[in-house]
Amino acid sequence: MNTTNVNPYHGKDIKIFAANANPQMAQQIADHLHLPLGKSEVACFSDGEISVSLLESVRGSDCFIVQSTCAPVNDNIMELLIMMDAMKRASAARITAVIPYFGYARQDRKAKARDPISAKLVADLITAAGADRVLSMDLHVPQLQGFFNIPVDHLLGSPMLAHYFKDRIEEREENIDDYVVVSPDLGSVTRARTFAARIGCPLAIVDKRRQKANVSEVMNIIGDVQGKKVILVDDMIDTAGTLCNSANAILEKGGAKEVVACATHGVLSGPAIERIQNGPLKEVVLLDTIPLPPEKRIDKINVLPVAPLFAEAIGRIYEDKPVSSMFK
């Protein structure tokens, strides 16, 4: 028996596969685990239907499929579902859906009468397709874990971002008292508070009132940002309207010296790149849970890799070790 990559706990081999959303990240994860990337083909038939072919045996294997459900959202979801179905029918021992960015996460409740709860529907589809567990990062709200009837390991992006800024402040020999961490809305306060505690600086909050989807109006700044260097912290940047409006208010009303922003997920849809390029933000730091195409790579945007974190989590899941201790 070949004992290469065999887990002493359950005796199964581990295999990392990729669909088309995050192939580079999947390769980086496999490299960190000293594994070859699983052989598969994910393509489309001429009529647009998705075709999945597994080019190696997965019988009895512990399989991890790396696939963010970012744009094109529906295509990426279907690729993930069909690949899991293929593995289930090929007798994989366990299937873990590694979803760095979980699409439809913001449709987690009924905002008005007759609204769907699409996040729950997608969670049900993933479970029905054959997933035994899910590994994701910074779900829009932690309660989304309860939408799944299977285990969910929830990674956090803010410790990595906080570590980046803390190291940079120390390297530049800047005074930590010159910095303030700001939450761009009340919903991100817990995340920003944890971020501020890791860096060791105070917290402020932007209180805003959203008039309609993707449009926000800044109302007030809670906290002192006068003459400070501000770090705006959020879980995702979509159209960048919230961050740019918050940055304007922080500079004009609060009297801050400069504003940078960081987020786990760079959705960057619609006018986001133009707003960041021409707006008040000095820098935007993102994690690569969503691949950044060449046309969106501007000087103001800095992207950090998350493959090492996911590789460690996958290794822990494979060896039946706790994932939560990674963040202690």
pLDDT of amino acid 194: 93
**Nearest alpha carbon to residue 266 among 317, 228, 301, 231:** 301
Count CA within 13 A, CB hemisphere, residue 6: 8
Kindly tell me if the per-residue pLDDT of 245 is higher than 50. Answer: yes
For the four alpha carbons of 253, 257, 258 and 264, in that order, the dihedral sign comes to negative
Q: To the nearest whole percent, how much of the chain has pLDDT over 90?
A: 87
Which amino acid would we find at residue 186?
A: L
Contacts of 297 (CB under 8 A, 6+ apart): none
pLDDT of amino acid 8: 45
pLDDT of amino acid 161: 97
Kindly tell me if the per-residue pLDDT of 285 is higher than 60. Answer: yes
H/E segment holding residue 123: helix 118-129
Measured from the Cβ of residue 168, the count of other Cβ atoms closer than 10 Å reads: 11
Kindly tell me if the per-residue pLDDT of 135 is higher than 50. Answer: yes
What SS3 state is found at 17? strand
Cβ atoms of 249 and 224 closer than 8 Å: no
Residues annotated as catalytic (active site), given as ranges? 208
pLDDT band with cut points at 50, 70 and 90 for residue 185 = confident
For the four alpha carbons of 76, 82, 84 and 87, in that order, the dihedral sign comes to negative
pLDDT of amino acid 6: 45
Say if residue 292 is exposed, middle or buried (CB neighbours under 10 Å; 0-12, 13-18, 19+).
Answer: middle
For residue 145, the Cα-to-chain-centroid distance in whole angstroms is 14
Looking at per-residue pLDDT, the higher value among 223 and 210 belongs to 223
Cβ atoms of 79 and 19 closer than 8 Å: yes
pLDDT of amino acid 246: 92
pLDDT band with cut points at 50, 70 and 90 for residue 240 = very high
Kindly tell me if the per-residue pLDDT of 277 is higher than 70. Answer: yes
Kindly tell me if the per-residue pLDDT of 263 is higher than 60. Answer: yes
194: region left, alpha or beta (phi > 0 left; psi from -120 to 50 alpha) = alpha
Measured from the Cβ of residue 2, the count of other Cβ atoms closer than 10 Å reads: 6
Cβ atoms of 150 and 124 closer than 8 Å: no
pLDDT tens per residue across span 44-64:
999 999 999 999 999 999 999
SS3 labels along 262-294: EEEEECCCCCHHHHHHHCCCCEEEEECCCCCCH
